[in-house]
């Protein structure tokens, strides 16, 4: 019953959160049938449970009554023959009731225990999962080069995603990671953030492995702006200040919003910084969500900036504004950029080209254009006219 409830809730959540996709795809009938099947299964399990309960309760009552009749009959015979006193018989019956009631409660407890086991099975499996390993030493100096040394990583299915990667990210400079989809770029970012641990190799800064630092101190020095620009339910103020463990003044908030070119659209909203953004920021456009994410990164004032295709889903006008905000954010910071569009990374100090988890080329745009055939093909397709000066 609990498993089926969980399955039905998942379907319900999926349909309600993506209702526009359902309607646009004319999938109402399909989802209606899926929901109907879930409800019917819940009804069948509920009916089965009710039948079992309807059978058990009268059966237990019958057993207790039959036992009482037998004891009264046999006890009456013993009292009439003088082998047992009437007081002893009454005491025995009272003791019997004292035992029967707890036994009935025990049977009811077993049923409730089975329900609770089904409901908490997934929670227990999550609680038993391995926690993130943490160190005790806070990170001291982030203004140093990051070194990736013979890095290998594979997911649980065994397929190797990153294969023997070695390169350096110079402090205060821009390193771009480009390549076809599925080459392992986002996985590499996850390793920088320490969401995963590599099976072999290491990532170090200033000669020390990043795993030697506390997770809180390491992640507090990283500003991550992703393609999806995640927004939490709440106000614009809540989203810009998200994860900051100190009080933020209105002046600071206004300043970072201005730096991210978000102050203009925020001032036009009915409640300004206290405007509710809705679930997953649905009341905001893609460019507005992205500028809030950049303002959040400005407020964190990170030493390392990671940009995961931060302008790919924007229109040309929004992209221009967001790109200018990103350029301001990148100044003086160690920056790692994932990009599919080469126009955003031509000016990078170093470009790493990834193919199927391997580095097949590195250098500046001009160097890669002259030496790397696939990069040259990418450039010709996207840029049409390549400036090599």
Instruction: List the CATH number of the domain containing 262.
Output: 3.40.50.300
pLDDT at site 386:
41
Query: Given a cut of 50, is residue 68 above it in pLDDT?
Result: yes
Instruction: Determine the structural domain holding residue 36 and report its residue range.
Output: 2-127
Q: Flag the least confident range among 78-87, 111-120, 358-367.
A: 111-120
Q: Which of 98, 127, 156 is the last residue of a domain?
A: 127
Within this chain, do residues 309 and 169 fall inside the same structural domain, yes or no? yes
Q: How much is the mean pLDDT over the chain?
A: 80
Residue 137 in domain: no
- Which residues make Cβ contacts (< 8 Å) with residue 368, sequence separation at least 6? 351, 353, 361, 362, 375, 376
113: CATH: 1.20.1560.10
pLDDT at site 389:
40
Within this chain, do residues 309 and 226 fall inside the same structural domain, yes or no? yes
| Mean pLDDT of the region 305-316 | 71
Within this chain, do residues 188 and 121 fall inside the same structural domain, yes or no? no
Q: Which of 99, 127, 155 is the last residue of a domain?
A: 127
Q: Read off the pLDDT band of 318 (50, 70, 90).
A: low
Q: Flag the least confident range among 29-43, 101-115, 348-362.
A: 101-115
CA 35/CA 15 separation, integer angstroms: 9
CA 152/CA 160 separation, integer angstroms: 8
Q: Read off the pLDDT band of 197 (50, 70, 90).
A: confident
Residue 139 in domain: no
Within this chain, do residues 106 and 233 fall inside the same structural domain, yes or no? no
Within this chain, do residues 92 and 215 fall inside the same structural domain, yes or no? no
Within this chain, do residues 100 and 184 fall inside the same structural domain, yes or no? no
Within this chain, do residues 48 and 150 fall inside the same structural domain, yes or no? no
pLDDT at site 383:
62
Q: Quick check: 51 and 58 in contact, CB under 8 A?
A: no
User: How many Cα atoms occupy the beta-carbon half-sphere of 233 within 13 Å?
Assistant: 2
- pTM score, two decimals? 0.67
| Mean pLDDT of the region 178-196 | 83
Residue 140 in domain: no
Query: Given a cut of 80, is residue 341 above it in pLDDT?
Result: no
Query: How many of the other CB atoms lie within 10 Å of CB of 204?
Result: 16
Within this chain, do residues 75 and 183 fall inside the same structural domain, yes or no? no
Q: Quick check: 306 and 192 in contact, CB under 8 A?
A: yes
Domain count of the chain?
2
CA 375/CA 370 separation, integer angstroms: 9
Q: Which of 127, 157, 182 is the last residue of a domain?
A: 127
Q: What is the pLDDT of residues 96-112, one digit of tens each?
A: 878 877 877 777 787 77
Q: What is the pLDDT of residues 217-267, one digit of tens each?
A: 888 888 887 777 777 778 888 888 887 777 888 888 888 888 877 887 888
CA 219/CA 303 separation, integer angstroms: 10
Residue 138 in domain: no
Q: Which residue(s) pair with 335 in the sheet?
A: 174, 305
Residue 141 in domain: no
Active site residues: 309
Within this chain, do residues 180 and 243 fall inside the same structural domain, yes or no? yes
Query: How many of the other CB atoms lie within 10 Å of CB of 33?
Result: 10
pLDDT at site 313:
57
Query: Given a cut of 80, is residue 311 above it in pLDDT?
Result: no
Tokens encoding 278:
């809705």
Within this chain, do residues 171 and 85 fall inside the same structural domain, yes or no? no
Q: Read off the pLDDT band of 10 (50, 70, 90).
A: confident
Residue 136 in domain: no
Query: Given a cut of 80, is residue 1 above it in pLDDT?
Result: no
Within this chain, do residues 201 and 273 fall inside the same structural domain, yes or no? yes
Residue 320 in domain: yes
Query: How many of the other CB atoms lie within 10 Å of CB of 291?
Result: 29
Q: Read off the pLDDT band of 72 (50, 70, 90).
A: confident
Residue 133 in domain: no
pLDDT-above-70 percentage for the chain: 93
Within this chain, do residues 179 and 302 fall inside the same structural domain, yes or no? yes
Q: Read off the pLDDT band of 387 (50, 70, 90).
A: very low
- Report how far apart the first and last C-alpha atoms of the chain are (Å, whole number): 68
């Amino acid at each position: 019953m609990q498993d089926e409830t969980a399955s039905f809730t998942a379907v319900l959540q999926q349909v309600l959160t993506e209702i526009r996709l359902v309607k646009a795809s004319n999938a109402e009938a399909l989802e209606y049938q899926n929901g109907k099947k879930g409800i019917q299964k819940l009804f069948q399990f509920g009916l089965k449970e009710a039948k079992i309960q309807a059978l058990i309760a009268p059966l237990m009552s019958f057993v207790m009554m039959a036992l009482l009749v037998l004891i009264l009959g046999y006890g009456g015979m013993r009292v009439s023959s003088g082998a047992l006193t009437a007081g002893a018989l009454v005491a025995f019956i009272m003791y019997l009731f004292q035992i029967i009631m707890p036994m009935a409660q025990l049977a009811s407890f077993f049923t409730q225990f089975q329900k609770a086991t089904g409901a908490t099975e997934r929670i227990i499996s999550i609680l038993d999962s391995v926690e993130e390993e943490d160190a005790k030493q806070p990170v001291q100096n982030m203004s140093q080069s990051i070194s990736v040394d013979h890095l290998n990583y594979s997911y649980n299915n065994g397929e190797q995603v990153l294969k023997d990667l070695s390169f350096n990210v110079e402090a205060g400079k821009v390193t771009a990671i480009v390549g076809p989809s599925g080459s392992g770029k986002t996985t590499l970012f996850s390793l920088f953030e320490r969401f995963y641990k590599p099976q072999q190799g290491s990532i170090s800064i200033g000669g020390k492995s990043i795993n030697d630092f506390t997770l809180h101190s390491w992640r507090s020095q990283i500003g991550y702006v992703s393609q999806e620009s995640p927004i939490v339910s709440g106000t614009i103020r809540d989203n810009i200040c998200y994860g900051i463990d100190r009080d933020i003044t209105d002046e600071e908030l206004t300043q970072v919003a201005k730096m991210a070119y978000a102050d203009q659209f925020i001032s036009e909203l009915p409640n300004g910084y206290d405007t509710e953004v809705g679930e997953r920021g649905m009341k905001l456009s893609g460019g507005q969500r992205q500028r809030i994410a950049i303002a959040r990164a400005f407020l964190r004032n990170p030493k390392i900036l990671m940009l995961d295709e931060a302008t790919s889903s924007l229109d040309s006008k929004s992209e221009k504004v967001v790109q200018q905000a990103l350029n301001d954010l990148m100044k003086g910071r160690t920056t790692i950029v994932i990009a599919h569009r080469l126009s955003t990374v031509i000016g990078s100090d170093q470009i790493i080209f990834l193919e199927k988890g391997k580095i097949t080329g590195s250098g500046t745009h001009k160097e890669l254009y002259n030496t790397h055939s696939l990069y040259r093909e990418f450039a010709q397709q996207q840029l049409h006219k390549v400036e090599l000066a």
